[in-house]
Structure 1
Amino acid sequence: MRLGGALMDEGVLARGRAAAERRMRDRVTITRAGEDSFDWETGTDTPGQALVFYDGPARIKAATRTGEEVEAGEQNLTLSEFVVSLPWATPPPSQRITPGALVTVTASRDARFVGLTLWVTGVEYGDATTAWRITAEDRS
């Protein structure tokens, strides 16, 4: 594989991907909410079936040391950015993961992460990377 004029050793890339996977000690589920349906007879909304993009190992890493304070409605929020790394060999989901999807941490060696919900803000693609990286933010 050529990268910037230099030949990249596929073995080096494979070792880098294996090392990145060994560091993926968290577990996440990435979803997008389904379309709600409204029942005119009862006057109630029924949540739609969520689309699950991914459920498996990941590495969650803070991308910023301090969050950005914003005002949403009448509530102050601190936005903290994270990078969620998935195994590079993860099969592509049936639909692209786009901003607005949710990353829920289901298991972590850091108990403070468990139950955390992050909002996807960006997805990176590339064939010479060691992991599939997704940027997300904590809106708490």
Structure 2
Amino acid sequence: MSVEALLARGRAASERLMVDACVIRRKTGETTDEQTGVITPVYATLYTGKCRVQQAGGATPAEAGEAYRLMLRLEVQVPMSIVGLEVGDEVELTSSPLDPDLVGRTFFVRDLAHKTHATARRVGVEEATS
């Protein structure tokens, strides 16, 4: 069996484990309501589809002003066909049949991993808790 065929089988197996769904977006600007002064971010959607969330490491304490926060490190896996992601992109979980507590959580891309024989695009993300 060729390396390409073996890798295709590995990618198909990896995608079968992607039972969650997410949307990945990038902030492209913002608009201001002239009546209220409310600033609303504007996003470009980069990907909508299946994914898998894995715990990558422990929580790191951080302080923002007087607020104590924990920065949770996770890994979001998406199909290898997803390209062009950048640090700072947002990942929002829209469905998670096996862990409903993930739905609605938003993570920020912090690490990008690249390798020749990857079976999934593994993206290091962070979630700030309060």
Normalising by structure 1, report the TM-score: 0.81
Structure 1 alignment gaps of length 5 or more: 1-7
Provide the C-alpha distance between the structure 2 equivalents of 1:88 and 1:34, rounded to a whole number of angstroms.
Answer: 24
In the alignment, is residue 105 of structure 1 matched against residue 93 of structure 2?
Answer: yes
Query: How far, CA to CA, are the matches of 1:121 and 1:69 in structure 2?
Result: 16
Amino acid at match of 1:99: V
Deviation at 1:61, TM superposition (A): 0.3
Distance 1:50 1:29 in 2: 11
1:26 counterpart residue number: 20
Task: Give matches, 1:75-114, under 5 Å.
Answer: 75-90=67-82, 92=83, 96-109=84-97, 110-114=99-103
Task: Select the residue among 48, 56, 75 that pairs with 1:63.
Answer: 56
**1:118 paired residue number:** 107
Q: List per-residue Cα deviations over 1:36-88 (Å, max 9, x = no partner).
A: 2446x647245243111111000100101x31111112111111111111111
Judge conservation of contact 2:93–2:105 (CA < 8 Å) in 1.
yes
Gaps (5+ residues) in structure 2? none
* Aligned alpha-carbon RMSD (Å): 1.8
* Aligned residue pairs, count: 127
Q: Between Structure 1 and Structure 2, whose CA radius of gyration is higher? A: 1
SS, match of residue 15 in structure 2: helix
